[in-house]
Structure 1
């Protein structure tokens, strides 16, 4: 893969808008591990190699087990995720693929068993944020491999 353009320098204002959205997400109260799981699962579905590289590194740097990172694409068959995480992952899949079937009522109902309405909106914003980053990275050809997580 070859980078098509450096979107950061091509349109700094667009980058700033995305960074503001990301800053909102970090201040939203969403659990940091859950946010990374959402980022990875959406990036798997979208095929965003750069974001997969980035967010698996971030989650690993946060102390997450290799097992939970490796098995995320098969979360339904793996017993290593909480019921709340499962609900959020199912929501991530439905919203990322929203054109396929919208948001099924049973998925909505499962999410509300674990999250209140405000948290539901936060989850939707988290899913939308990573889907936007995925589309930017894929469209501009951001090459994976150079990202290093911040030292904790």
Structure 2
């Protein structure tokens, strides 16, 4: 059974613009909290991208991969992101944030383990930890919106030549 469809899906932004605006405000508030707590934008993009990879959200993977690249993230680290636990390219702080984001995303697998939370709390103070929890929660929500409404990335100009 195919999971894709050519049938039109509801445009949430058009039909429920007030809820979409509230979701956007939540996203901006979480990002602002992270900035105030000193969590680097580059780390937030890694978190958003990794959560989107786990959830299989094509739209958000494309968006956050592009945002990470625009923010200066290396091709090597982006390619290694799916295997971050074993990669020497990510430091302890990044690994703690990614582990927390993955545990939040996979909460159905046994909640957020104490060890994962303790590792994140050892690397981040409470405001930063709270911001990471919010950012992880928001991207999970956005993934579910994009997946359920079958949002697809905008066509990008080709960087290859056929000629």
TM-score by length of 1: 0.91
Q: Is the 8 A contact 1:94 1:102 kept in 2?
A: yes
Q: What are structure 1's unaligned runs of at least 5 residues?
A: none
How many residues align? The count is 148
Name which of 9, 21, 27 aligns with 2:26: 21
**Secondary structure of 1:64's match?**
coil
Name which of 116, 123, 135 aligns with 1:126: 135
**Residue in 2 aligned with 1:49?**
58
Q: Is the 8 A contact 1:54 1:147 kept in 2?
A: no
**C-alpha displacement of 1:18:** 1.1
**Residue in 2 aligned with 1:5?**
10
Q: Which whole-Å CA distance do the structure 1 matches of 2:104 and 2:87 have between them?
A: 22
Q: Is the 8 A contact 2:31 2:135 kept in 1?
A: no
Moved over 3 A (4+): 145-148
Q: Is the 8 A contact 1:36 1:59 kept in 2?
A: yes
In our comparison, the structure showing a higher alpha carbon Rg is: 2
Q: Which whole-Å CA distance do the structure 1 matches of 2:154 and 2:80 have between them?
A: 21
Q: What are structure 2's unaligned runs of at least 5 residues?
A: 158-163
Name which of 69, 73, 76 aligns with 2:78: 69
**C-alpha displacement of 1:19:** 0.9
